[in-house]
Structure 1
Amino acid sequence: MLTHPTSERLTALGLAGMARALDEQRRAGPTYEALGFEERLGLLVDREAAERDTKRLTARLKFAALRQTASVEDLDLRTPRGLDRAVMAHLIDGGWTLRHENLLITGQTGLGKSWIACALGHKACRDGRSVVYHRVPRLFEALALARGDGRHARMLKAIAKLDVLILDDWGLAILAPSERRDLLEILEDRHGRGSTIVTSQLPVEHWHEAIGDPTLADAILDRLVHNAHRLQLSGESMRRKVTKPLDLGHQA
C-alpha cells in the first residue's frame, strides 16, 4: 500500500504520531467513517500528544539513570518495615517535590531504601520532573575528577538545576574536606529550588558525626533536614530468603 501524501507531510512536519494514527484510521475503514471531522482530528491529536509524552518520559528516565527498575505501583506495604500507607500516599502524590521539600530514608541494609527512592524518582519522572540518581561515593569521585579537568563548576550547576536529586548510600564513611565542601555547595544551590532524596543506613541523629566538621555539618544539615520528610525503616531484611529444609525423615 502506497503511503498517502498527507501521511508523508505529517511525518515531514514531525507529526509521526498523527501520521501513524491517520494510516490506522484509513485501514480501519468503516470503524471511523461514522465519526465527524473534529472527532477524527481529535483522535489524531491525542495520538500525537501521547507519543510525545512517551518519548519525553523515556528521555527523562534515561537521564535519571535510576539504579533499580522500580515503580510506586509495585510498592510492598504488606511486609512489616515501618511504612505508613498515609505517608506513602502523600509522597507518591508528589506535591512535596513542587514545594522543594526533601526526603530522608533510613534503616538497616536490605529494607528497600534504594528501591523506594528509585520508585519515587520514577514517579517524579512520570510527573514531568527532572531526576538524577547518584550513589554518594561515586558522586564524590566524579566531582573530584571534574575538579581536575575543569568540569567541576559545570557539574555542580547541572546538579543544582535538577527537580529531584537522589543521593543513595550516604554516610558510609566520614567525609573528606573536599567532599564536605562539595556537599554544602550542592545543598546550598538546591535549597528552596529542588528536592533531594537521601538514603542511609546511618540514623539521622548520627549524620553530624559522619560529616566530620562541626561548622560545615551544621550548615549542611540545616539545608537538608529542616524541611525533610522522614521514612525510618525497620524490620528484617527483605533480601533474606527463609526456606525450610526438606525433612526426608517424614516423607511417606
Structure 2
Amino acid sequence: MSSINQRLNNNLLQLELLEIKSYLPNYLEQVTAGKMSFSEALLALTTKELNYKHQAQVERTITRARFPSVKTLEAFDFTFQPSIKKQEILELKSLAFMDKAENILLVGSPGVGKTHLAIALGREACQQGARVLFINCHELLLRLRKADDKDELDRALNRYARYDLLIIDELGYLPIKHDEANLFFQLINARYERKSTIITSNSALSSWVDIFQNPTVTAAILDRLVHHVHTIRITGKSYRLKTKL
C-alpha cells in the first residue's frame, strides 16, 4: 500500500468513516477505469456512509427503547383478527398521531396482538429518530414508587415525560394501589398534549375504575388520555391459542 493510501486510510479511521474506507478501493478502480467520475464516486461513497450511520443510530434507538421482542406491522396477521381495521393501523404507521401528541389505546383479551402492534409502532417511531421507551405497567409503577420514596419523583416524571413515545404495556393485569394511581395520573398529566402514549390493556375503559380503585383519579386519567386518542378494540381469538391448535 502506498504512503498516500496508508495516510488516507488512517484519516478515514480517525474520522470514523468506516463505510467509505471499506468501499473506497472498489470505487477508485472504477474511477481509474473511467467507469465513473470522481464526483460520482464521492457521492456514492458519502451516501453509503450516511446510510450506515443512520441505520446504526436507528439500532441504538431501538436498543434504548427496550422492546421485549422484534415485532413488525408486516408480520402481523390481520386476517386472524378481523376486528382490527388494517387501514387504520397502516395510517398510524405514518406517525402523524405523534405530531399531534395523540394517544393510542389497544384494548382486548390476552394474546390478541396488542403488544405486537404497540412494539411495531414503536419501532416505526425509532426508524424516524423518535425517543421511545417500552415498559410494563407494573415495572413503571415500581420505578415511580421507588423514586417517590427517595424524593426523586419530579426527576423521574420529567425523564418519562420527555420520551417522544412512551409505550405502557399490560395495564390492568395486576392491581394498582391508591398511591400508585396518583403516580400514574401525574405521569399522564405530565405528558398530556405534549407527547404521545400507547397503552395496552386487557380491560375496557369502563372497568378502569376497578383497576385504579379511585373514581376521581380514574376520571382524571381517562380525561387526559381519551381527549386525543385512537382506541383500538380487539375482540378476536388469541394468537397463542392459534399456535397451540
2:79 alignment partner, SS class: coil
Give the structure 1 partner of residue 155 of structure 2. Answer: 154
Displacement of 1:126: 0.8
1:228 Cα deviation from its structure 2 partner: 0.7
Q: How many residues end up aligned between the 2 structures?
A: 243
Could you tell me how far apart the structure 1 residues matched to 2:154 and 2:22 are?
44
Identity of aligned residues (%): 27
Contact 2:161 2:187 in 1 (8 A): yes
C-alpha distance after superposition, 1:67-107 (max 9, x if no partner): 22101221211113411122111111211111111000011
Q: Report the Cα offset of residue 62 of structure 1.
A: 0.7
5+ residue gaps, structure 1: 245-252
Question: Contact 2:144 / 2:153 at 8 angstroms: preserved in 1?
Answer: yes
Kept in 2, the 8 Å contact 1:184–1:220? The answer is yes
CA distance in 2, matches of 1:13, 1:192: 41
Matches within 5 A, 1:116-135: 116-135=117-136
How far has the Cα of 1:204 moved from its partner? 1.6
1:175 has 2:176 as partner: yes
List gaps (5 residues or longer) in structure 2: none
Q: Classify the secondary structure of the residue corresponding to 1:93.
A: coil
RMSD over equivalenced CA pairs, Å: 2.1
Alignment-derived partner of residue 142 in structure 1: 143
Partner residue in 1 for 2:16: 14
Alignment partners' CA distance in 2, 1:241 and 1:171: 24
C-alpha distance after superposition, 1:174-215 (max 9, x if no partner): 421221121111111111111100001101222233222222
Query: Contact conserved, 2:81 with 2:112, CA < 8 A, in 1?
Result: no
Q: How many Å separate the matches in 1 of 2:225 and 2:197?
A: 8
1:130 aligned partner, one-letter code: R
Deviation string, structure 1 residues 50-77 (Cα, Å, up to 9, x no partner): 1110111111111100122101221211
Distance 2:135 2:225 in 1: 16
Between the aligned partners of 1:147 and 1:9, the Cα distance in structure 2 is 50
TM-score scaled by structure 1? 0.88
